């Protein structure tokens, strides 16, 4: 018996992690593969026995796991983002939720022929979306403007709201069907709901405040060593979740979400390491939960998937969600394009699957026949919404001009002084730029220079969600560590094509067989040419080179369609002029990379790093003294040692 349980646990972990890896390789939504492998492992192949996954232990594990996932989601929310979109988010998680609940219940009753009570419960369950499906979609689409922030906030905060609403409906159904309280009536049920809602909010808010203050005090006073910071944080989150649930049923989800938001926005302790730990734990939990819940289904569940379910799904997508968004947007500043995009972004996720499975188990004595169809319908909605929104949201965002089909913006990983000069110059030329660095002083200096900059670990999972990639189409890795740079290139390949990832070699021999050279498939394209390295650009920075926009010499033969890198070097001393970017007449931006593929047309301009004393004949624009690669009132690099460089960019 113990060996059988151990084997089941092993199968769940292998399938959960393996499906997410396969989804990453195939660029498919991971939730689809997780549900598929879970169903295959359970009722189809019998690797997991669905009957052994029916106990109370499973639902306790599922509930606690969702609490941890929502805590991690709360850590990604910044209250400063609500200044512009707070009103829209609030209406979506209140007015939008009630519209979705009501219309979903009506559709479930009249189309799927569910009992009125079950229909109301299904409508409540389907109000949730979830960060596990919303955030990967946003990461892939990269919408610009405020819709990205609104969708992220709604996806995270609507989960506890919908879960609490579902719990209140469940408790009301149980109350109305309790033989001992049959005479209570609807007034008693309404009173029960009102009291329950008040207690949910009161308990969740109180527990989250106490738990956050306790954790901040422990971490700020350094009462635990570094290797125990993450375990202690997890312990406090679990305790807060359990205590909240004991005091008021299912208030733990709201408590952990509020705790994550509070911890992310307090100024006293850093939560970066906590976020890194939680995101790794989230991958394991999400994979395990989806596999377990889908493996619980019986083969008979397929009998419930028919034309009526497809009609129900279509009404949710084409009627319910658009109506909820447009009504919620009354009185906000959202334009019709933003409303249309948000109307086409409501995939259901793990919370809907977990709540449906748990409630079906609890309601089976009350609705012995009809409740069996609730879980297959919910799972069909999850699969349908993830597939439809996942395949169509990107093209829709481009059609609405909320995402660029071929963005020219540049994301610099690394924000050393010379990188900031390059980024600022490109920004002045009208190119969207952003910088990412783990060094707080680099990030602060970039922001003071008017550059969008983000502080964070480039290898963190959440960095893709926390960095605004709207308008960004190319990744430029400018850090003095080949290993970390290569890992960064692999990490960001989830959102950038390999042709748009550029990596600056740390040393001159990093590209040409030097010791420790990274294999070609483990690194990005060479940035600023194969012969250019971080060390060489650092040397140019030390001598105070400038960034200039140049054109070809007027005396050059005009019959040529384009010029190679070598022909360009013949006009300029290649030791003092290093081409960085090419600007075409139609304002397209090209990054100088492989020398053999370099093409410069006579009408093109090129941005170059120009050394002192260089013979620059056709200079179109020279940066002012403040735009020199090295400012004379600060060192070329804030960190004097290679170790500091590696720490700041990793």
Region 111-133 average pLDDT: 86
**Quick one: pLDDT at residue 213?**
93
Q: Which residues pair with 608 in a beta bridge?
A: 548, 579
**Quick one: pLDDT at residue 510?**
55
* Least confident range of 174-183, 232-241, 292-301: 174-183
**Quick one: pLDDT at residue 321?**
94
Distance CA 350, CA 156 (A): 12
Residue ranges, comma separated, of all CATH 1.20.1530.20 domains in the chain are 55-295+315-399
Query: 558-583 pLDDT, tens per residue?
Result: 555 556 666 666 666 555 677 788 87
Angle subtended by helix axes 252-265 and 185-220, to nearest 10: 30
**Quick one: pLDDT at residue 640?**
33
Distance CA 444, CA 419 (A): 14
Residue ranges, comma separated, of all CATH 3.40.50.720 domains in the chain are 409-649
**Quick one: pLDDT at residue 487?**
83
pLDDT of 624 strictly over 50: no
- Summary mean pLDDT of the chain: 77
pLDDT of 102 strictly over 90: yes
Q: What is the CATH number of domain 55-295+315-399?
A: 1.20.1530.20
* Least confident range of 95-109, 378-392, 399-413, 476-490: 399-413
- Residue 240 CB burial class (10 angstroms; 0-12, 13-18, ≥19): buried
Q: Which residues pair with 579 in a beta bridge?
A: 608
**Segment of 244-258, 394-408, 591-605, 619-633 carrying the highest mean pLDDT:** 244-258
Region 30-44 average pLDDT: 81
* Least confident range of 173-187, 218-232, 400-414, 618-632: 618-632
* Least confident range of 213-222, 236-245, 373-382, 573-582: 573-582
pLDDT of 318 strictly over 80: yes
- With bands split at pLDDT 50, 70 and 90, how would you rate the model's confidence at 637? very low
Number of Cβ atoms within 10 Å of the Cβ of 593 = 18
Q: Between residues 623 and 119, which one has the greater pLDDT?
A: 119
Q: What percent of the chain has pLDDT above 90?
A: 12
Q: Does domain 409-649 have CATH number 3.30.300.10?
A: no
pLDDT of 516 strictly over 50: no
Asked if residue 204 lies in contact with residue 163, where contact means CB atoms within 8 angstroms, the answer is no
pLDDT of 199 strictly over 70: yes
């Amino acid at each position: 018996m113990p060996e059988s349980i151990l084997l089941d646990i092993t199968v769940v972990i292998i399938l959960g992690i393996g499906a997410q890896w396969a989804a990453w390789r195939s660029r498919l939504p991971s939730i689809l593969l997780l549900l598929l492998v879970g169903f295959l492992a359970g009722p189809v192949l019998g690797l997991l026995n669905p009957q052994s996954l029916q106990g109370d232990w499973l639902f306790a594990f599922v509930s606690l796991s969702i609490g941890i996932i929502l805590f991690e989601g709360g850590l990604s929310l910044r209250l400063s983002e609500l200044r512009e979109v707070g009103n829209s988010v609030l209406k979506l998680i209140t007015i939008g939720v009630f519209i979705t609940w009501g219309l979903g219940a009506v559709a479930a009753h009249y189309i799927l022929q569910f009992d009125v009570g079950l229909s109301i419960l299904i409508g409540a369950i389907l109000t949730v979306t979830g960060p596990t499906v919303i955030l990967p979609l946003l990461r892939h689409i990269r919408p610009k403007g405020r819709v990205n922030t609104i969708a992220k906030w709604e996806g995270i905060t609507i989960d506890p709201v919908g879960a609490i609403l579902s719990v209140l409906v469940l408790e009301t159904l149980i109350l109305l069907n309790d033989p001992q309280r049959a005479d209570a009536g609807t007034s008693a049920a309404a009173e029960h709901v009102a009291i329950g809602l008040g207690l949910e909010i009161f308990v969740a808010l109180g527990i989250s405040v106490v738990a956050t203050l306790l954790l901040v005090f422990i971490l700020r006073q350094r009462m635990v060593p570094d290797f125990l910071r993450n375990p202690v944080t997890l312990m406090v989150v679990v305790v807060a979740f359990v205590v909240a649930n004991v005091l008021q049923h299912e208030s733990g989800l709201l408590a952990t979400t509020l705790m994550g938001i509070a911890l992310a926005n307090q100024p006293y302790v850093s939560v970066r390491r906590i976020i890194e730990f939680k995101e790794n734990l989230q991958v394991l939990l999400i994979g395990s939960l989806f596999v377990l819940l889908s493996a619980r289904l019986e083969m008979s569940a397929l009998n419930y998937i028919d034309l009526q379910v497809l009609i129900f799904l279509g009404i949710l997508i084409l009627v319910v969600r658009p109506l909820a968004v447009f009504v919620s947007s009354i009185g906000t500043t959202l334009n019709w394009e933003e409303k249309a995009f948000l109307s086409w972004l409501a995939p259901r996720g793990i919370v809907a699957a977990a709540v449906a499975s748990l409630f079906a188990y609890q309601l089976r004595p009350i609705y012995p026949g009809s409740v069996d169809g609730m879980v297959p319908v919910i799972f069909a909605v999850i699969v349908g919404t993830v597939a439809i929104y996942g395949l169509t949201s990107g093209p829709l965002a481009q059609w609405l001009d909320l995402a660029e089909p071929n963005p020219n913006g540049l994301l610099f990983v690394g924000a050393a002084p010379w990188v900031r000069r390059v980024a600022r110059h490109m920004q002045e030329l009208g190119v969207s730029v952003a910088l990412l660095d783990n060094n707080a002083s680099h990030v602060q200096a970039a922001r003071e220079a008017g550059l969008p900059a983000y502080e964070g670990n480039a290898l963190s999972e959440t960095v893709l969600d926390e960095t605004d990639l709207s308008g960004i189409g190319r990744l430029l890795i400018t850090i003095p560590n080949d290993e970390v740079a290569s890992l960064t290139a692999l990490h960001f390949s989830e959102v950038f094509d390999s042709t748009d990832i550029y990596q600056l070699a740390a040393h001159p021999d990093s590209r040409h067989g030097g010791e420790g050279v990274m294999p070609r498939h483990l690194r990005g394209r060479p940035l600023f040419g194969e012969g250019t390295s971080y060390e060489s650009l650092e040397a140019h920075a030390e001598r105070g080179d400038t960034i200039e926009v140049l054109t070809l010499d007027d005396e050059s033969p005009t019959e040529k369609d384009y010029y190679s890198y070598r022909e360009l070097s013949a006009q300029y001393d290649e030791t003092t002029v290093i081409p960085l970017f090419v600007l075409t007449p139609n304002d397209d931006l090209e990054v100088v990379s492989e020398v053999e593929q370099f093409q410069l047309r006579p009408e093109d301009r090129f941005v170059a790093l120009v050394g002192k004393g260089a013979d620059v004949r056709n200079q179109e624009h020279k940066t002012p003294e403040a735009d020199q690669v090295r400012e004379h009132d600060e060192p070329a690099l804030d960190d004097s040692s290679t170790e500091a460089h590696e720490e700041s960019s990793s």
